[in-house]
Amino acid sequence: MARVRLLLAFFALCILAAGAFGVAWYWKNFLRANWEATREIEGRGNPKTKRELPDLGIREFEAAQALLIDGEWAAARDRLHYLMEYYPDSKAYNEAKHIVGEINMDLLLSPTPIPGKEEHLVKSGDLLAPLARRYQTTINYMMRAGGRLNHLIYPGDRLIVYPLNFRLRISLGKQTVTVLTPDDGKFFKDYEIRSVNLPPALKPPVSAKIAEMVAWHEGRAVTFESPNYFDADKWIRADKVGLFIRAQPEEAASTDQASAEKGGASDPSGGLGVKVDRADLEEMFAFLRASNAIELVP
């Protein structure tokens, strides 16, 4: 009986030894190579042999560039949107975002057809202000999109209209005013904030709407039809006290102080607000309108 037990023990040891040998052989020939490669890629191996992961966003960026060369603007924009959504750490991210903004503006302000853009054939009795309300757009947009310099319209004229129901996100942390698309809230374009001067009581997060968009020249409000419109001082006033989007003066310190001192009827902001470049504010006036939603975030 004892001999049988010794024999069984001997066989058990042989089986264990064979198993250990098999594991060692499998590790050496298969698992070890994969393990070392993983450590090398993740940077846990020898720093001298560390390899960076490939930037897959570059591939999408180059594909978008090829589409732009072929004149496929909308397709290129969609490719760049894909890059921004799935490869936010890509070195091409910031450039992709800039190009998307420029493409969006070109598509919006040109006769190029895009979803939501229509052409209105002017009939007898049509007036610009009622048409703007009907199509949820602005006179400013209809004039710019149609390349019109005269606000007078006649039967047979064709006006480009588009529902300007954009949303704005003012990020104090990122120092950007980001415009989001009306339907799906996708990135449309953003603008750099140059300086911020908000009332202490106005603490994010805050939800608001554009109450009015004002152009002021020599003590009185002017509209797009005025020859002084493009030289006028402009600001966007929200329905929250102290929340404005204004142009950053070239000489910020002295000009802001002078503006705040004279303030009064010509500038109800008194120097308060989120300030962007004047050219950026002019562009916002081309496609924003009263009632657009604003979100102020940290």
Between helix 93-109 and helix 73-86 the angle, nearest 10°, is: 140
The token pair that represents 285 in the structure block:
């006036």
pLDDT of residue 219: 83
74 is a domain residue: yes
Candidates 297, 163, 195, 288; CA nearest to 236 is 288
Burial (Cβ within 10 Å: 0-12, 13-18, ≥19) of residue 16: exposed
41 is a domain residue: no
Show Cβ contacts of residue 216 under 8 Å, excluding neighbours closer than 6 positions.
Answer: 222, 232, 233, 234, 266, 267
120-124, 204-208, 251-255, 261-265: range with lowest mean pLDDT: 261-265
206 is a domain residue: yes
Range of the domain at 104: 56-109
Alpha carbons 187 and 12: distance in angstroms, whole number: 67
Alpha carbons 229 and 226: distance in angstroms, whole number: 5
pLDDT of residue 265: 44
Over residues 185-219, the pLDDT tens digits come to 899 999 999 999 999 999 999 999 999 998 988 88
Residue predicted with more confidence, 133 or 28: 133
Query: In this structure, are 274 and 172 located in the same domain?
Result: yes
Inter-residue contact 173 to 196 (CB < 8 Å): no
Query: In this structure, are 293 and 171 located in the same domain?
Result: yes
Residue predicted with more confidence, 229 or 70: 70
pLDDT of residue 1: 52
Inter-residue contact 274 to 196 (CB < 8 Å): yes
Residue predicted with more confidence, 249 or 163: 163
Over residues 116-130, the pLDDT tens digits come to 999 999 999 999 999
39 is a domain residue: no
Query: In this structure, are 220 and 292 located in the same domain?
Result: yes
Is residue 13 pLDDT above 70, yes or no? no
Is residue 46 pLDDT above 50, yes or no? yes
Is residue 260 pLDDT above 90, yes or no? no
181 is a domain residue: yes
Residue predicted with more confidence, 11 or 286: 286
pLDDT of residue 269: 57
Query: In this structure, are 150 and 253 located in the same domain?
Result: no
- Which band of pLDDT confidence, cut at 50, 70 and 90, is reported for residue 230? confident
Which amino acid belongs to residue 292?
N
Is residue 38 pLDDT above 60, yes or no? no
The percent of residues above 90 in pLDDT, for the chain, comes to 56
Cα–Cα–Cα angle for 243, 247, 251, rounded to 5 degrees: 120
87-91, 148-152, 232-236: range with lowest mean pLDDT: 148-152
200 is a domain residue: yes
- CATH value at residue 156: 3.10.350.10
Between helix 56-69 and helix 93-109 the angle, nearest 10°, is: 30
Mean pLDDT, rounded, for 14-32? 48
Over residues 145-188, the pLDDT tens digits come to 988 877 889 999 999 999 999 999 999 999 999 999 988 889 99
125-134, 137-146, 217-226, 274-283: range with lowest mean pLDDT: 217-226
Query: In this structure, are 142 and 245 located in the same domain?
Result: no
- CATH value at residue 171: 2.40.440.10
The token pair that represents 133 in the structure block:
């309300």
Is residue 81 pLDDT above 60, yes or no? yes
Query: In this structure, are 198 and 149 located in the same domain?
Result: no
Instruction: Assign 140 to helix, strand or coil.
Output: helix
Is residue 20 pLDDT above 80, yes or no? no
Candidates 179, 214, 209; CA nearest to 291 is 209
Number of structural domains in the chain:
3
pTM score: 0.74
- Which band of pLDDT confidence, cut at 50, 70 and 90, is reported for residue 17? very low
Helix residue ranges, H only, the chain = 2-26, 32-42, 56-69, 73-86, 93-109, 128-134, 139-145, 252-262, 278-287
